[in-house]
Structure 1
Amino acid sequence: MLNDVGPIKPETRERVLAAAQELGYVPNALAQRFARRKSGNIGVIVPVVPKVHLFTTYYFAEILSGIGDAAKRCDYDLLLIFREMDGERDYAKLFRTQKVDACIVLGAQNVAEERDALRELKTEGYPFCLVNQRFDGEGFMYVDADHEAGSYEAVRHLLERGYRDIAFLNGPGAYSNSEDRLAGYTRALTEAGLPVRKEHLFEGNYSRKSGYEAAAGIARLQQEGGIDAVFAANDRMAIGLMDGLREQGIEPGKQLAVVGYDDSDGSRIVSPRLSTVAVPFYEMGKAAALRLLAPSADDVPNENHLLPVQFVHRETS
């Protein structure tokens, strides 16, 4: 009755409400949610990345902070669901078992299993939003940043400073943001009349270790006179690359320019400080949650859009 659930006579409702007020009764939130068949949770699906502490990773920490603040504003709790990278993607089960009322998917990949799971959510009418990933042609709700423009600005900065042979350390192609960064890199070189050379393209997995492991091949190119700068698709790979380059006898920022991406805390404290691209991850997480929980609010975008990014010039370039 206090939850406005089920048929009841108006006079009976008035008597019960009057008695509740006299007794100072406060409805139990958990019972209310159960009666309304709602969990009161917004779910966040996050990938389990081997040997990566998600909550100390700038990318995940910022996005989750934005989601959490928006959830609190809307009187929702945050439920984290950890998924193995190659694990089952039965996202609809979260709704069928009433664990969540809406969900945000982080780390989604452009693979058949992911598409099928997201299509099921859309077909069944379950509310969900992707962050930092798009699936063109699918019509999924998403919040993303303009990574193509960010990559373009990073490479153009290097070109304006006289660098002409610029290598690119990208992330896996299963992520739309990797494709966006490659598009920006390619556009900047093409506009400058420079070719995109296959031997200048490297791939990591956005981890510091993968940047470190790419250092040997990049150092070889630099020592052969093949490159004079490197653009890395995130700061973690850039910082790992810088460590690896030093072991190869190359000083980042002096013998080889390096630019990262994300403007993470590490970019500010590494030596030399890393030139990078600032991405509004906190705002992305907040916008995704509000689009699901408070879509009519004045400060909520009502359609899929790309948040702006900004190049930050420091010592490595």
Structure 2
Amino acid sequence: MAQKENKTFLYKRVYQDLKERIQDSEYLRDALLPSEREIGETYQVDRTTVRKALQLLVDDGLVEKRAGKGTVVVWRPQESMPQVQVPFKPGKRNGPIAFLLPKGDNNSSRITQPFYAQLFYRAEKECHKQGYTLIYSTLDESDDFDGLVQSHGFSGIFFVSNVAHRHLDRAIGLGIPAILVNSYYNQMTSILSDNFCGTYNACRYLIERGHRTIGIINGDSRYTTSIERRRGCVTALREAGLTLKNEYCLGGTSWEFEAGLAAVEQMLAKNASYPTALVAFNDRLALGAIQAIRQAGLKVPDDISIIGYDNSDQAKYSVPKITTVEIHASLMAQTAARMLFQQIDDYEVLPVKILTPVELVEQDSVCQRES
């Protein structure tokens, strides 16, 4: 018992001394505190004691822990001491879990994309099993992440798709368990489908069926998913001795039906020739492309074959049914949820990239071409 009391005294002594040095401006805002090893050597304590002391400073809002950087001072001397405590401590399990995603193209705060709806539905189911409430909100670059966190006291966060890195860094600094879904950040556990493999296999499928001029309909080119899917197409074409022509690289600003429609309309209006096949980076873009092709008096797949991505219900019920890539959104959400619960329980952050499998679903929108 005496040994336990001594250790408690030691970490509080280290905490109090560092706190006073911060308040006395020895460490200014944005300054790095010494490493855990250096602090341990200075105070002659072990690393566990140092970490307990640093966690108290985090709880006070004086410092943030930033992966790959260290412990950074965030308090300014002219500010009064922060009163708001960090909403999460390891073992706390009574707050809701957040599902945070970027706003859609129409600036809507609702979940409008079928893919996000699938993710949310399965994540909500997994959270319910563990006794959590799942709530969603949009989170853009300029939004007040701290205010959102403080008002809800989240136990954990699912960040979805192209969330600004400054919000991811802030969650890491605050010590809130967090998982990134459908994107990749090297300092956070990231769960996404094998985007490269999905479009690589789609292009190989077209090439095997005699297609030699293949185009793409990009989503939002800023997204990791878009970058990886384009890379898959380019690689498959290059291996077959083919190239992706600039005039057949369509879209790049949106994931919506209207973007696919407009992109293909413009291509058909500008070019006398057109590709025999298009790989759309989601099913809504593919549906827009099909409508544009029909409006031009052409047929799918006889004139232009189409492959989508996501295997949404829209693809299953379209005419013709769209050949698409199944990404197993439910598996992504289930994996993300289990990784988040593990992080909540022991706060062990694993900055790994986990890829869920994909598979091509053959339907009616691709035809065989004569070689």
**After the TM superposition, which residues 22-101 of structure 1 pair with which residues of structure 2 at under 5 Å, given as runs?**
39-49=94-104, 50=106, 54-55=110-111, 57-83=113-139, 85=140, 87-88=142-143, 90-101=144-155
SS at match of 1:217: helix
Residues 54 and 269 of structure 1, relative CA distance in 2, 3 Å threshold:
farther
Q: 1:140 aligns with which of 175, 182, 188?
A: 188
Q: 2:277 aligns with which of 225, 229, 239?
A: 229
Q: Quick one: distance in 1 between partners of 2:241 and 2:169?
A: 41
**Kept after mapping to 2: 8 A contact 1:108/1:130:** no
| Higher mean displacement: 52-61 or 169-178 | 52-61
Q: Which has the higher contact order (CA 8 A, sep 6+)?
A: 1
Residue 239, structure 1, aligned to residue 287, structure 2 = yes
Q: Quick one: distance in 1 between partners of 2:111 and 2:309?
A: 19
CA apart distance, 1:181: 0.3
CA apart distance, 1:46: 2.6
Alignment RMSD:
2.4
**Kept after mapping to 1: 8 A contact 2:157/2:179:** yes
**Kept after mapping to 1: 8 A contact 2:184/2:353:** no
Q: Which residue number in structure 1 is paired with residue 171 of structure 2?
A: 121
Q: Deviations over 1:47-101 (max 9, x none)?
A: 3321779556320111001111110111111122233x5641x334444445311
CA apart distance, 1:220: 4.0
Q: Quick one: distance in 2 between partners of 1:214 and 1:64?
A: 29
Q: Quick one: distance in 2 between partners of 1:253 and 1:270?
A: 13
**Kept after mapping to 2: 8 A contact 1:38/1:98:** no
Residues 157 and 274 of structure 1, relative CA distance in 2, 3 Å threshold:
same
Q: Which residue number in structure 2 is paired with residue 313 of structure 1?
A: 362
Q: Which residue number in structure 1 is paired with residue 221 of structure 2?
A: 173
Sequence identity (%): 25
**Kept after mapping to 1: 8 A contact 2:101/2:160:** yes
Q: Which residue number in structure 1 is paired with residue 260 of structure 2?
A: 211
CA apart distance, 1:189: 0.3
Q: Quick one: distance in 2 between partners of 1:263 and 1:54?
A: 21
Q: Which residue number in structure 1 is paired with residue 181 of structure 2?
A: 131
Q: Which residue number in structure 2 is paired with residue 106 of structure 1?
A: 160
Q: Which residue number in structure 1 is paired with residue 3 of structure 2?
A: none
Q: 2:301 aligns with which of 253, 259, 267?
A: 253
CA apart distance, 1:229: 0.8
**Kept after mapping to 2: 8 A contact 1:215/1:244:** yes
SS at match of 1:159: helix
Residues 256 and 309 of structure 1, relative CA distance in 2, 3 Å threshold:
same
Q: Deviations over 1:268-301 (max 9, x none)?
A: 110011010001111111221221124599xxxx
Q: Quick one: distance in 1 between partners of 2:107 and 2:308?
A: 21
CA apart distance, 1:163: 0.5
**TM-score, normalised by the number of residues in structure 1:** 0.78
Give the number of aligned pairs.
270
Q: Which residue number in structure 2 is paired with residue 160 of structure 1?
A: 208
Residue 284, structure 1, aligned to residue 310, structure 2 = no
**TM-score, normalised by the number of residues in structure 2:** 0.68
